[in-house]
């Protein structure tokens, strides 16, 4: 017997609602509640597709990419020959910045690790708007609003992306399906590695935007294990710089809680933004 169209639609809605509820991870929700912050976190297995989500609604909401764009920006810079390798020098112009680690010559590795804004702005001016526009559109990274300023677009709101969008990008990165050469991926891995423990290697990047109130903090990356690679993307509301350690803390606590990360694993200190 054929069901009325209304019944079919109603069943579909119930099924979708059930799936959405199942996608919400109660243990991760507890961690956010204990920290007293609003945010979202997606953890997803690259091969099996197993996914854990906190705050499904926010997971699809776009925010300013901020320094998480340094992951793709590094690939673009290396692929286009703007910087040769992770140890290639990036000369400091002598400008004094509020973050002491920025006030010296850098390499791609150090610039990524201390999230040096002026370093990547220097590279961006050499890359050019057309290259950025072509690659970002080609791979479907977030939403790029044109026209944009070549050396601030990932900071000023011209480029936004959701946690779900970050996860989709990271899965392509891990499986090397993006339009870059193997040597380009290798260069990124060399600068993105955050920490390592027996049976687990963590690659990650922070981000922080204060263009809105509250601010938005990011922590994205992937965890390599012998059996599987897990990608993750977190964003959360930040009141001030005191909230920034929560970015890494919540991800690591979630990975520990899910049995994906050894208890001895700790991240390297990364200076925001």
Could you list the active site residues? 67
Residue linked to tokens 């870059």: 180
Q: Is the peptide bond before 175 cis (omega within 30 degrees of 0)?
A: no
Cβ proximity of 171 and 231 under 8 Å: yes
Buried b (16+ CB within 10 A) or exposed e, 67-99: bbbbbbbbbbbbbbebbeebeeebebeeeeeee
**Pairing between β-strand 193-197 and β-strand 159-161 as defined by DSSP bridges:** unpaired
Q: How far is the C-alpha of 231 from the C-alpha of 80, rounded, in Å?
A: 26
DSSP string, 28-71: HHHHHHHHT--EEEEEEETTT--EEEE-HHHHT--EE-GGGGHH
**Pairing between β-strand 39-45 and β-strand 229-238 as defined by DSSP bridges:** antiparallel
Helix (H/G/I), strand (E/B), else coil: 235: strand
Residue linked to tokens 């799936």: 19
The residues, any chain, with a CB within 8 Å of residue 121's CB and separated by 6 or more, are 151, 152
Helix (H/G/I), strand (E/B), else coil: 22: helix
Q: How far is the C-alpha of 273 from the C-alpha of 208, rounded, in Å?
A: 5
Helix (H/G/I), strand (E/B), else coil: 226: coil
Among residues 224, 202, 185, which one has the least CA distance to residue 270? Answer: 202
Tokens for 251, please give them: 């991800």
């Amino acid at each position: 017997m054929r069901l009325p169209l209304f019944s079919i639609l109603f069943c579909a809605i119930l099924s979708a609602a059930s799936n959405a509820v199942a996608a919400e991870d109660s243990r991760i929700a507890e961690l956010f509640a204990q920290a007293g912050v609003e945010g979202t976190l997606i953890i997803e297995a690259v091969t099996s597709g197993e996914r854990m989500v906190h705050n499904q609604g926010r997971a699809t909401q776009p925010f300013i990419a901020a320094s998480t764009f340094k992951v793709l920006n590094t690939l673009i810079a290396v692929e286009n020959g703007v910087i040769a390798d992770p140890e290639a020098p990036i000369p400091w112009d002598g400008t004094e910045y509020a973050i002491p680690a920025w006030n010296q010559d850098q390499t791609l590795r150090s610039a990524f690790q201390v999230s040096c804004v002026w370093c990547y702005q220097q590279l961006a001016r050499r890359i050019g708007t057309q290259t950025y526009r072509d690659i970002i559109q080609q791979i479907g990274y977030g939403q790029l609003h044109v026209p944009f300023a070549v050396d601030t677009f990932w900071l000023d709101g011209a480029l936004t992306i959701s946690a779900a969008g970050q996860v989709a990008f990271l899965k392509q990165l891990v499986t090397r399906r993006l339009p870059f050469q193997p040597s380009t991926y290798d260069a990124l891995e060399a600068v993105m590695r955050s920490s390592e423990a027996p049976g687990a290697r963590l690659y990650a990047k922070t981000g922080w935007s204060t263009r809105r109130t509250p601010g938005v903090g990011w922590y994205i990356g992937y965890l390599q294990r012998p059996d599987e690679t897990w990608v993750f993307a977190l964003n959360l509301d930040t009141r001030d710089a005191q909230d920034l350690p929560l970015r890494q803390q919540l991800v690591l606590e979630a990975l520990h809680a899910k049995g994906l990360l050894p208890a001895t694993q700790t991240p390297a200190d990364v200076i925001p933004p």
